[in-house]
Structure 1
């Protein structure tokens, strides 16, 4: 009788968490070796904060607005957006360099490369937020809501950064080219920045534009950070709830799209 050769069992697919952690470590190491990442994640937000608080601080104080208290959450959101645009560039580089093809040939979970970039950029954004808050204390920013406000603020930073980064990662993987990714990323960001409550209150805009300004995602994210850091904020629960709805919608929608875009990128 012919001997029957048993096939070796197929190796089980490594866990998503383990794959994501391994690739996150790779991403953080590469980030530390690239000075532009440190400049974009830490230095530029600090420069913006110093310029805005120095140039407009006294003017806003005369207008009755505690500008450091108003401004620091906006700079944190801006820092998160810089991290998102940086993540899109990393995704485009991986897609255009052949790194994605190498990863797809390996026995790793398909969402792991996307999650690793997401985690890495979120870590950078949180570190940047801590640096900005330390700077803000020098200009008069205070957590008026106590330790719980600090924890809620940092928790929101994590959620908001992930919600902003994920669409940009999808953009980078989809375009698979650094230059158009950078250009389109700016085209998406700057209109949202200019028509928002990040740097000026809603009342500064024409009446017909105010609903758009109030309910667009960047405004909702900034207002939520202000609500958890400043006492006496009107309808703080509703403001935070609206920001979480936006974040959940972005994460769910682009969380479904991201692995598919990664799988189709060549």
Structure 2
């Protein structure tokens, strides 16, 4: 009796290393597949660079005349845009895995049930971080600097990592829920473009009419962008409260969609 009752207590610690190993192995598989699909890295790297150059060309001089250091203002926005591109790509991968039978095959294998979701999340987050690093290099050419030193670098990468997880996970849930890649792109765009365009990512909040300004300044993308600016630019805003609001948004998204993801994934197939 004592031996039988002790078995369940030892199972969870053994399951945790299996979850980590399975998730990492499948994440590497996801990265290998991405390397064979050039459009994945075009979306993560080329498009954000193109947008950075275009925004600097179109708005740079105007913003400088208004007293705004536009490279400092713009780079966090383009990095978040890169994260959203990775999120939309992740939703398509999730839909393809669900609709193409990959999820069913994974369920037949002796792996952790959560590993397929976590692996896609890790793979797309890694891609987003690669894109962010490339954009920082481009930003330095344009005049962006980490004015807050090494703490700014660490804070920036910490926030980008958390943002990648928080914004990619909802799109994975969408992909597993909708299954059809074409429909996923449509539904994803309905969320993507309003949040991106009605925000303070590329222009200050005072350019919006009063009835829209509150939403533009306080939606999650704007809050995270302001936090990234706070940790990289000296004296921009109250860093602690700005970062705290952004982290609260991201933890809330992770908690909500983290609870929703297993239920949606469990209905696939």
TM-score range, shorter chain: over 0.9
Q: Is the 8 A contact 1:87 1:117 kept in 2?
A: yes
1:125-204 pair list within 5 angstroms: 125-204=128-207
Which residue matches 1:216?
A: 219
1:79-94 to 2 correspondence within 5 Å?
79-94=82-97
Provide the residue aligned with 1:6 in structure 2: none
Deviation, 1:208, is: 2.2
2:4 equivalent in structure 1: none
2:231 corresponds to which of 225, 228, 233: 228
Moved more, 131-140 or 255-264: 255-264
Could you tell which deviates more after superposition, 146-155 or 209-218? 209-218
Contact 1:24 1:119 in 2 (8 A): yes
Aligned residue number for residue 119 of structure 1: 122
Q: Secondary structure at the match of 2:159?
A: helix
Task: Give the superposition deviation at 1:80.
Answer: 0.2
CA RMSD of aligned residues (A): 1.4
Q: Distance in 1 between matches of 2:52 and 2:101?
A: 38
Alignment partner of 1:101 out of 82, 101, 104: 104
- The normalised TM-score by structure 2 is 0.93
- Residue 39 of structure 2 corresponds to residue 36 of structure 1: yes
Question: 1:165-220: per-residue Cα shift (whole Å, max 9, x none)?
Answer: 00000000000110000111111010111210001101111122222111100101
More displaced, 211-220 or 165-174?
211-220
Displacement, 1:44? 0.5
- 2:209 equivalent among 206, 209, 217: 206
Higher helix share: 2
State the Cα distance separating 1:258 from its structure 2 match: 0.8
Query: Map of 1:29-68 to 2, 5 A cutoff?
Result: 29-68=32-71
1:56 offset after TM fit, Å? 1.4
CA contact 1:100–1:265 (8 Å) conserved in 2: yes
Which residue among 76, 84, 105 is the counterpart of 1:73? 76
Kindly indicate whether the alpha-carbon contact (under 8 Å) linking 1:224 and 1:240 is maintained by their aligned counterparts in 2: yes
CA offsets 1:131-162 (integer angstroms, 9 cap, x no match): 00100111111110001100100010000011
Work out whether residues 221 and 243 of structure 1, in 8 Å CA contact, stay in contact via their aligned partners in 2.
yes
Question: What 5-or-longer segments of structure 1 have no aligned partner?
Answer: 1-8
Contact 1:111 1:258 in 2 (8 A): no
> For 1:32 and 1:52, how far apart are their aligned partners in 2?
28
